[in-house]
Amino acid sequence: MEFEIQANGQPLHADARAALLAGPGFGRIFTDHMISARWTVDSGWHEARLQPYAPIVLDPAAAVLHYSQSVFEGLKAYRQPDGGVALFRPGRNAARMSASCRRLALPELPEDDFVSACELLVREDAAWVPKGDGESLYLRPLMFADEISLMVHPSDAVRFLIIASPAGRYFPGELRPISLWLTQDYVRATPGGTGAAKCGGNYAASLVPQREAVANGCDQVVFVDAVEHRWVDELAGSNIFFVLDDATVVTPELSGAILPGVTRDAVLQLAREAGMNVQERLVDIDEWREGARSGRITEVFAGGTAAVITPISTLKWPGGQVTAGDGNAGPVTLALRTALMDLQYGRKPDPHGWRRRVL
Ligand SMILES: *Cc1c(COP(=O)(O)O)cnc(C)c1O
């Protein structure tokens, strides 16, 4: 795919950009450009370009507004010690977007074009990649159905976009462990459903239980499986990991209802290389409750691109709660977090070839 370049003739002034980058937050400010491409049944992919960031026009009958035929991705560009910029395993996001597209009956974007488009946008807006500790430029590729039709069928017209947003640390302040609410009434994903696809509908389904979590004094909701209400799945937007007292890292196996995280894959590999045992298997919610009480489970943490690695202290449910370890971030959590960030930020050699230099 050839991306036509339509540079923004009025990019934000450097002083105004610097002011925004002083406190980027998460997902609130966007760069000068975006990627856009269209697909139709008749013409395939076309009108691929880099263009000024701008609102889009949607017909009120655009299929995505009604039937949610859409997928998205999330990856980051990291400032390197020499001032350059690198993406982290963008090919993984490309492949996952293809898998999500297959589940949502959307056309696949060639994976090389996905990566090239990410690189093009980062290169053009490199001045927007922040330099602070733990900061990055978050890329949000998305694809949605924009056929003008209320017919329920796979859309014959689709739009692909990538926007970019400078990001501070996801949970601001120092690394504070989060607490989780075990929802009793809601599930995120079902066998045969869309849990393994990165689609907005999964997030829509998580909002009420997430609100319930906050109402119960917790930071985030954690979901168990939809059939037996017993096996730990994941959080609304990140995977979950347990550290056992014999140097084992356990994460729920990919059941079809869990999102296969790029962070998840990297964490498991880094844990293996650090000499730990790694298990992908079912985790019973009672194993968590009893393990945290007995000391068998020493640490729990969440992993995902946005939040990196976040320690989890307390699990709470109606009428009870349990805290793993002493409630602070544990040594294995911190070591894995440092190892991962050292790779992302170019502070250590990259034996896996996970960094993709853009500049
Ligand atoms: C995106 C996402 C993750 C984390 O995936 P990463 O590739 O590590 O960012 C985990 N769970 C859900 C539900 C997600 O949407």
Quote the CA–CA distance of 262 and 165 in Å, as a whole number: 19
pLDDT for residue 292 is more than 60: yes
Output the DSSP codes for 67-131.
H--EEE--EEEEE-TTS-EEEESHHHHHHHHHHHHHHTTPPPPPHHHHHHHHHHHHHHTGGGS--
pTM equals: 0.97
Percent of the chain with pLDDT over 90: 97
Best of 180, 187, 198 to mutate for ligand 1, by most ligand atoms within 8 A of CB? 198
Start-to-end Cα distance in the chain: 21
pLDDT for residue 172 is more than 60: no
Tokens of 339: 């190892």
Q: Is 261 a pocket residue for ligand 1 (Cβ < 6 Å)?
A: yes
The CB density around residue 309, as the number of other CB atoms within 10 Å, is 24
Q: Is 304 a pocket residue for ligand 1 (Cβ < 6 Å)?
A: yes
Q: Is 166 a pocket residue for ligand 1 (Cβ < 6 Å)?
A: no
- Share of the chain residues as helix, strand and coil, in percent rounded to the nearest 5: 25, 30, 40
Over residues 137-145, mean pLDDT: 98
Over residues 193-219, mean pLDDT: 98
Quote the CA–CA distance of 229 and 340 in Å, as a whole number: 32
Quote the CA–CA distance of 184 and 182 in Å, as a whole number: 6
**Cβ atoms of 197 and 71 closer than 8 Å:** yes
Q: Give pLDDT tens digits for 270-280.
A: 999 999 999 99
Distance 263 CA to ligand 1 centre (A): 8
The protein residue with its alpha carbon nearest to ligand 1, atom 12, reads 237
Q: Is 263 a pocket residue for ligand 1 (Cβ < 6 Å)?
A: yes
Q: Is 252 a pocket residue for ligand 1 (Cβ < 6 Å)?
A: no
Atom of ligand 1 nearest to the CA of 265: 8
Distance 60 CA to ligand 1 centre (A): 30
Tokens of 235: 């959080």
Q: Is 287 a pocket residue for ligand 1 (Cβ < 6 Å)?
A: no
Q: Is 198 a pocket residue for ligand 1 (Cβ < 6 Å)?
A: yes
Beta strands 277-281 and 248-252, pairing class: parallel
Q: Give pLDDT tens digits for 228-246.
A: 999 999 999 999 999 999 9
